[in-house]
C-alpha cells in the first residue's frame, strides 16, 4: 500500500467518525433514568424466566436454543385425538391406523383399570377407617359403673314370652273382613246350603264396615251391573255379555237414578225457586229442576219453544236423562209441536218396533240432517239424537257437564248389531267400549288420581275384566279387585282365559274387540302368597275357590297352589296344620287338619299328600317326601326313597342328629307299617329294603366291635362268600338285587375284610410261640384256622374282581393289601 492510498483510507475513517458523532442523540439525566426503568421493567416481566433458564441449563451443559428447536419438531397432535380417515385402498395408512388404534386401546384400558383399582383401594380404605371409627364409638358407649352413680338403683324388667308364639298376621283389617266372608261362603258351599250373592255381600260389607265412600260406590256400581237375569254357565261370559242388552240398560238405569238424586238435591237447596208441588214423580221433579236452572232470562237465549219462561226441550231432555220416557212424551204432547217425534216416542214407550216405526225414523233423520244438525237449541238436538240413535260424533259440549252425562249420552244412542242401519254411521256396544278403553284410555280420565271414576266407567260399559285389572295394580285397591273378581266368577260373569298360565289380562283370538280376559288363578295366587305363611287357613280358603280350574296337564289349580305352599314350607307344624295328626289306632289315617274340610269326590288330603311327595321327590327333598308318602299311604314310593337314602349312609357311624339316625326312626315306622300292608309293595322293593336294614345292623355291630355278630349277619344274607367256591353264587345273588345294594357293596367288602384281618392278627398273635402251649395238635388247628382266614380273604378279593360293576380303585387296593399282609 502506498502513501496515497493510506491517506485516502484515513480520510474515510475520519469522515465516518464525524458522521457518527453528528448523528448521536443527547439525553438529559431524567430521560436516561426513565429509559433505564422501562428497560428494567420489560426485562423483569418477560425475560427473567428465560434468562434464569438459560443460566441454569447452561451451567449444566445444556444448549437451550437447540433443545427448543428439537421440541418444536415434535408432533403437536394430542395422544387421544381421533385418527385421520384413510381410504379403503390405502393399505399402509390402514395398517398404521390399526397399529395406533391398538396402542391407544391398550393405553385407555390400562388407564381405566388403574383408575378402577385406585377407586376400589380408596373405598376399601375409607370403609376400614369407618369401621375403626364405629368400633371406637361403640367401645366408648359402655355403660357407666355403679360407683359412678351410687344413688341409682338398677331394676331388672322381666320379659314374658309365650311358650308357643304365633306369627304376626300379615293381613290388614280390610283383608280380614273379606276373608271372613270368603270362609262363610265356602262353608255354605261345602255344606250344600244356599249360596249367597257375593257381590251383594261385599257391597253391604263395604257400606257397613269400610269408612270409604269411593270403595262403597264402586261396589254399588258392580252390584247394580250384575243384577240381571242369571246367565247360563255353559255360555262364555264375554260373548253372552256382548249380546245381552240388559247390561246396557242396567248402566243407563244406574246413571239415570244417580241423576235423579242430583236433581232432588238441587231442588232441596232452592225450594223457593223450585216451587215444588203436586205428585212426587219425574214429571214434577224435572219441571222444578228446569225452573231452578233457567230462572235467568239470559239462560233462555237460543232455546226453541219457550212458553211462560219454561223451555220445552230442556224439559224433554231432562225427562229422558232421568229415564222417564213417559214424562218426556207428556211434555211434548202438551206443547203440540213435532207430531212425528211424538208418535215415534209414543211407539217406543209402548215397545212397538214394526215397519211404521222405521218409516217415521227415516223421515225424522232426514229432517235432522237437513235442519236440526245446526240447530241453536242444544237440548232439541240432543233429544233428536237420543230418540233416533244417530250422529255419534256430535259431542254435545253444552250439555256434557260430567263423565256421567257423556257416558249416558253414548249409552242412549247405542244400536245392536241386529238393529243397525248401515246407511248411516251408528255407535255399537263394542264401539263404545273401544272408545273408552283404547281411544280415551287412562290418561284422558286421569285414572291414576281418579281410580274409582275410571273403574266405574269401565264397569258401566261392561268391561269388568279391564276394570278389575286396573284396580289390582295398586296395593291399596288390590283386596277390592281380588274379591270383585271372585264374586263375578261365582256368578259366572267373569271372562277367564283358556290357560291358567296366561298373563293377568289377555284376550283370545275369537274374542270381540276390545274385550279382555282376567286370569283369576294368577290374581288369587298373587294375593294369597303375601299371607299364606302367617295365615295359612285363610290362604287355603282362597285356594278352594280355584277348585274348578285346570292347567294344561290336567292338574287341579287348587291342589297345585296348596302343593306349592307345602313344598316351600314342609315342616312338622305345617303338615299337622294341613293334614292333622296320626290316628293312634290306624297309622295310615290322619284326623283333623284344615284340608279335611275341602274334600270332594275328585281329591282329598291323601291325594294331596301324594302330589306333594312327588314334587318333593323331584326336588331331591327325600326326607320330607317320605313323610308325605307315609301320610298318603303310598308305602311303595316311601320304601324306594328310604332305600335310596340308606344306600348313602348305611356304612357310616350313627351320630346324634345325622341322617342315619333319622332314618333309623323311619325304618322302625316302616317295619310296623309293612306288617299291616305288605301286599301294597312290590317284592323286589321289600327285598332291597330288608337287605339294607340287615346291612345297617351289620355296620352297627362292626362299628361297635362286635365282629362275631356282624359276621353272622353277612353269612345269613349270603352277601359275601366264605370261600372261593361261593363267589359265583354270591355274584349271582347280587345281580338279582337292586342298585342300592351294589352301591354299598364296596363298603361291605372292606368291612368284611377288616373283620377277617382282625381275626387273623388275633390268631397269629396267640400262635406266635408254640412253647407256651406245648401242644403240636393245637398248633396245627390254629394253622388251619389261619388258612381258612386266608381263604376267606382270597374269596373277598375274587368277588371284588368278579362283580360285573366297576369297583373303586381304592377298594381293590385296600383288599389286596390286607390279603397280602395275611401271608
Write out pLDDT tens, residues 720-750: 887 788 888 888 888 777 788 888 888 888 8
Average pLDDT over residues 637-659: 86
In the chain, what is the greatest distance between 2 CA atoms, to the nearest angstrom? 163
- Residue holding cell 395398517? 95
pLDDT score at 774? 46
The residues near 377 (Cβ < 8 Å, ≥ 6 apart) are 302, 303, 304, 313
CA distance 816 to 819: 5
pLDDT score at 90? 80
Q: Is the pLDDT of residue 362 over 80?
A: yes
Residue 385's CB: how many other CB atoms inside 10 A? 20
pLDDT score at 347? 86
CA distance 154 to 257: 71
The residues near 600 (Cβ < 8 Å, ≥ 6 apart) are 547
Average pLDDT over residues 366-394: 85
CA distance 641 to 666: 11
pLDDT score at 480? 94
Helix (H) or strand (E) holding 581: strand 581-582
pLDDT score at 119? 92
pLDDT score at 422? 47
Quick one: cell of 787? 388258612
CA distance 341 to 361: 9
pLDDT, the chain, mean = 82
Torsion over CA: 798, 800, 805, 811 (sign): negative
Average pLDDT over residues 300-319: 83
Q: Is the pLDDT of residue 417 over 60?
A: no
pLDDT score at 23? 45
Q: Exposed e or buried b for every residue in 492-502, given b needs 16+ CB within 10 A?
A: ebbbbbeebeb
CA distance 413 to 385: 7
Average pLDDT over residues 426-439: 88
CA distance 371 to 341: 15
pLDDT bin (cut points 50, 70, 90) of residue 781 is confident
Average pLDDT over residues 415-435: 71
pLDDT bin (cut points 50, 70, 90) of residue 303 is confident
Indicate the domain borders of the chain. 187-245+430-528, 247-415, 718-768+775-821
pLDDT tens per residue across span 10-31: 778 877 665 544 444 556 677 7
pLDDT score at 519? 93
Residue 566, CA distances (Å) to 222, 563, 589, 600 in order? 36, 5, 19, 20
Quick one: cell of 304? 226453541
Whole-angstrom distance between the N-terminal and C-terminal Cα of the chain? Answer: 136
pLDDT tens per residue across span 235-255: 888 888 888 788 899 999 999
For residue 505, report the phi and psi dihedrals to the nearest 5 degrees: -130, 125
Average pLDDT over residues 369-392: 85
The residues near 367 (Cβ < 8 Å, ≥ 6 apart) are 340
Q: What is the pTM of this model?
A: 0.70
DSSP 121-133: HHHHHHHHHHHHH
**Helices 622-632 and 572-579 meet at what angle, rounded to 10?**
20
CA distance 254 to 411: 11
- Could you check whether the bond before residue 514 is cis, i.e. omega within 30 degrees of 0? yes
Q: Dihedral through CA 483, CA 488, CA 492, CA 493, nearest 10?
A: -150
Average pLDDT over residues 643-657: 86
Amino acid at each position: 500500500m502506498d502513501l496515497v492510498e493510506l491517506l485516502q483510507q484515513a480520510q474515510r475513517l475520519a469522515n465516518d467518525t464525524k458522521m457518527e458523532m453528528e448523528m448521536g442523540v443527547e439525553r438529559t439525566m431524567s430521560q436516561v433514568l426513565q429509559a433505564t426503568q422501562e428497560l428494567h421493567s420489560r426485562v423483569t416481566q418477560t425475560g427473567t424466566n428465560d434468562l434464569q433458564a438459560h443460566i441454569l441449563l447452561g451451567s449444566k451443559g445444556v444448549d437451550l436454543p437447540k433443545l427448543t428447536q428439537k421440541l418444536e419438531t415434535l408432533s403437536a397432535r394430542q395422544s387421544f385425538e381421533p385418527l385421520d380417515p384413510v381410504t379403503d385402498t390405502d393399505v399402509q395408512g390402514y395398517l398404521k391406523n390399526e397399529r395406533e388404534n391398538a396402542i391407544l386401546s391398550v393405553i385407555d384400558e390400562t388407564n381405566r383399570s388403574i383408575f378402577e383399582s385406585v377407586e376400589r383401594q380408596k373405598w376399601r380404605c375409607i370403609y376400614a377407617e369407618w369401621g375403626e371409627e364405629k368400633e371406637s364409638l361403640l367401645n366408648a358407649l359402655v355403660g357407666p359403673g355403679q360407683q359412678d352413680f351410687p344413688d341409682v338403683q338398677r331394676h331388672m324388667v322381666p320379659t314374658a314370652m309365650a311358650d308357643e308364639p304365633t306369627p304376626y298376621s300379615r293381613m290388614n283389617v280390610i283383608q280380614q273382613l273379606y276373608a271372613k266372608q270368603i270362609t262363610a261362603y265356602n262353608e255354605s258351599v261345602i255344606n250344600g246350603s244356599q249360596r249367597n250373592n257375593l257381590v251383594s255381600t261385599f257391597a253391604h260389607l263395604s257400606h257397613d264396615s269400610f269408612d270409604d265412600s269411593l270403595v262403597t260406590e264402586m261396589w254399588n256400581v258392580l252390584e247394580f251391573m250384575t243384577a240381571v237375569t242369571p246367565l247360563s254357565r255353559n255360555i262364555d261370559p264375554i260373548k253372552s255379555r256382548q249380546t245381552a242388552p240388559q247390561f246396557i240398560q242396567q248402566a243407563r238405569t244406574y246413571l239415570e237414578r244417580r241423576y235423579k238424586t242430583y236433581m232432588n238435591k238441587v231442588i232441596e237447596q232452592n225450594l223457593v225457586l223450585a216451587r215444588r208441588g203436586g205428585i212426587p214423580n219425574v214429571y214434577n221433579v224435572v219441571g222444578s229442576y228446569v225452573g231452578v236452572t233457567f230462572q235467568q232470562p239470559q239462560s233462555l237465549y237460543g232455546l226453541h219453544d219457550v212458553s211462560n219462561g219454561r223451555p220445552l226441550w230442556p224439559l224433554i231432555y231432562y225427562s229422558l236423562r232421568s229415564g222417564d220416557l213417559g214424562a218426556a212424551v207428556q211434555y211434548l204432547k202438551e206443547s203440540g209441536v213435532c207430531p212425528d217425534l211424538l208418535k215415534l216416542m209414543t211407539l217406543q214407550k209402548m215397545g212397538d218396533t214394526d215397519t211404521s216405526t222405521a218409516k217415521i225414523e227415516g223421515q225424522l233423520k232426514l229432517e235432522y240432517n237437513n235442519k236440526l244438525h245446526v240447530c241453536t237449541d242444544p237440548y232439541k238436538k240432543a233429544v233428536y239424537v237420543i230418540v233416533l240413535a244417530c250422529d255419534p260424533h256430535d259431542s254435545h259440549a253444552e250439555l256434557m257437564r260430567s263423565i256421567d252425562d257423556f257416558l249416558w249420552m253414548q249409552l242412549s244412542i247405542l244400536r245392536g248389531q241386529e238393529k243397525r242401519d248401515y246407511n248411516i254411521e251408528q255407535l255399537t256396544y263394542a264401539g263404545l267400549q273401544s272408545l273408552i278403553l283404547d281411544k280415551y284410555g287412562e290418561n284422558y280420565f286421569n285414572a291414576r288420581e281418579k281410580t274409582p271414576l275410571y273403574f266405574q266407567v269401565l264397569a258401566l260399559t261392561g268391561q269388568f275384566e279391564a276394570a278389575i285389572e286396573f284396580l289390582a295394580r295398586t296395593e291399596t285397591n288390590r283386596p277390592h279387585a281380588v274379591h270383585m273378581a271372585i264374586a263375578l266368577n261365582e256368578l259366572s260373569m267373569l271372562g277367564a282365559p283358556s290357560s291358567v298360565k296366561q298373563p293377568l289380562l289377555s284376550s283370545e283370538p275369537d274374542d270381540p274387540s276390545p274385550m279382555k280376559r282376567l286370569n283369576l288363578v294368577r290374581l288369587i295366587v298373587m294375593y294369597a302368597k303375601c299371607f299364606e305363611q302367617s295365615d295359612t287357613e285363610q290362604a287355603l280358603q282362597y285356594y278352594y275357590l280355584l277348585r274348578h280350574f285346570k292347567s294344561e296337564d290336567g292338574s287341579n289349580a287348587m291342589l297345585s297352589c296348596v302343593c306349592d305352599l307345602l313344598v316351600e314350607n314342609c315342616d312338622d307344624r305345617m303338615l299337622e296344620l294341613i293334614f292333622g295328626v296320626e290316628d293312634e289306632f290306624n297309622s295310615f289315617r290322619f284326623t283333623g287338619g284344615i284340608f279335611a274340610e275341602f274334600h270332594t269326590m275328585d281329591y282329598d288330603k291323601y291325594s294331596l299328600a301324594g302330589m306333594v311327595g312327588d314334587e318333593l321327590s323331584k326336588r331331591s327333598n327325600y326326607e320330607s317326601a317320605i313323610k308325605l308318602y307315609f301320610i298318603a299311604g303310598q308305602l311303595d314310593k316311601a320304601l324306594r326313597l328310604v332305600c335310596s337314602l340308606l344306600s348313602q349312609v348305611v356304612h357310616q357311624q350313627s351320630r346324634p342328629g345325622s341322617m342315619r339316625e333319622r332314618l333309623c326312626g323311619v325304618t322302625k315306622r316302616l317295619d310296623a307299617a309293612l306288617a299291616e300292608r305288605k301286599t301294597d309293595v312290590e317284592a323286589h322293593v321289600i327285598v332291597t329294603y330288608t337287605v339294607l336294614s340287615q346291612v345297617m345292623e351289620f355296620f352297627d355291630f362292626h362299628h361297635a366291635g362286635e365282629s362275631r355278630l356282624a359276621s353272622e349277619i353277612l353269612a345269613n344274607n349270603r352277601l359275601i362268600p366264605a370261600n372261593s367256591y361261593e363267589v359265583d353264587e354270591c355274584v349271582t345273588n347280587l345281580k338279582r338285587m337292586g342298585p342300592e345294594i351294589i352301591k354299598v357293596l364296596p363298603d361291605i367288602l372292606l368291612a368284611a375284610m377288616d373283620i377277617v384281618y382282625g381275626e387273623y392278627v388275633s390268631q397269629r398273635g396267640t400262635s406266635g410261640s408254640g412253647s407256651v402251649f406245648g401242644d403240636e395238635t393245637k398248633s396245627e388247628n390254629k394253622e388251619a384256622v389261619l388258612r381258612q382266614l386266608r381263604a376267606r380273604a382270597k374269596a373277598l378279593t375274587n368277588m371284588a374282581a368278579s362283580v360285573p360293576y366297576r369297583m373303586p380303585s381304592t377298594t381293590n387296593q385296600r383288599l389286596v393289601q390286607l390279603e397280602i399282609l395275611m401271608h
